[in-house]
């Protein structure tokens, strides 16, 4: 039988060693992300300065923002993110619960409904001849998978026959030059796209004579239009 020395000095040495190891793993995770932020965060390398601005504005550590954006971009399980950043899965969950609302407050003002005049000023050249009255493009009920709820009623509301799993749906659209101009709160995956469009108030924003390019899955809106 072998006895391990558990003196204070030995324990503090192990703690320092583990702390250094954790820091090394965290620094490596940051290095990998910053080497290819488009892949891991959905942000081009030349726009990586946005992270620093968000960190200062929201008073959040840079690593927290990386965790959140990586989760949004790749939708990895908490356990994998925990291994990537050398944290516990519960810590990853807490980071997202705490910091995501702060990021939402900072970024929400950038989602703005543009007037047709503002859109025409930035209209892409291929659109200018035939699509000068385009108000927005790619209106779509974006659907993303979620963890199966424990409540059977919520399981039913969020079940998607199309995805064959529990999902949330978000109505989203953007301007022809790629800026998100409208997004509505999430609905359970069981609800139809038509009902989401009606509930969102999106149709009230449209002016007569203007055009919208919609995903082909959006059907049966003739009565509303």
Q: Report the alpha-carbon distance of residue 95 to residue 64 in Å, rounded.
A: 6
List pLDDT tens digits, range 119-159: 888 888 888 888 888 888 878 888 888 889 999 999 999 99
pLDDT < 50 stretches in the chain = 1-16, 19
Structure tokens at 213: 């390019």
Residue 28: half-sphere exposure toward Cβ, Cα within 13 Å: 10
Q: Report the alpha-carbon distance of residue 108 to residue 110 in Å, rounded.
A: 5
Q: Report the alpha-carbon distance of residue 67 to residue 49 in Å, rounded.
A: 16
Residues 17-33 as b or e (16 or more Cβ within 10 Å = b) = eeeeeeeeebeebeeeb
pLDDT for res 20: 57
For residue 144, the surrounding DSSP H or E stretch is strand 134-145
pLDDT for res 90: 93
Q: Are 56 and 62 in contact (CB under 8 A)?
A: no
pLDDT for res 9: 45
List pLDDT tens digits, range 55-78: 999 999 999 999 999 999 998 999
pLDDT for res 8: 47
Q: Report the alpha-carbon distance of residue 97 to residue 100 in Å, rounded.
A: 6
pTM: 0.72
């Amino acid at each position: 039988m072998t006895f391990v020395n558990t003196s204070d000095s030995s324990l503090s040495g192990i703690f320092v060693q583990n702390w250094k190891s954790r820091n090394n793993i965290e620094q490596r995770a940051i290095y990998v992300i910053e080497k290819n932020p488009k892949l891991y965060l959905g942000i081009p390398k030349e726009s990586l300065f946005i992270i620093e601005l968000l960190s200062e504005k929201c008073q959040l550590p840079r690593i927290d923002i990386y965790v959140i954006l990586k989760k949004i971009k790749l939708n990895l399980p908490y356990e994998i993110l925990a291994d990537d950043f050398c944290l516990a899965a519960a810590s990853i969950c807490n980071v997202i619960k705490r910091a995501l609302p702060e990021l939402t407050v900072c970024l929400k003002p950038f989602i703005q409904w543009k007037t047709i005049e503002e859109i025409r000023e930035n209209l892409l050249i291929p659109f200018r001849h035939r699509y000068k009255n385009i108000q927005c493009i790619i209106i779509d009920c974006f659907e993303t998978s979620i963890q199966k709820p424990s409540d059977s009623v919520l399981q039913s509301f969020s079940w998607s026959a199309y995805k064959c799993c529990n999902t949330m749906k978000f109505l989203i659209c953007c301007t022809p030059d790629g800026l998100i101009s409208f997004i509505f709160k999430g609905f359970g995956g069981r609800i139809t796209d038509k009902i989401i469009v009606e509930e969102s108030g999106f149709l009230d924003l449209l002016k007569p004579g203007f055009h919208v390019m919609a995903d082909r899955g959006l059907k049966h809106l003739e009565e509303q239009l």
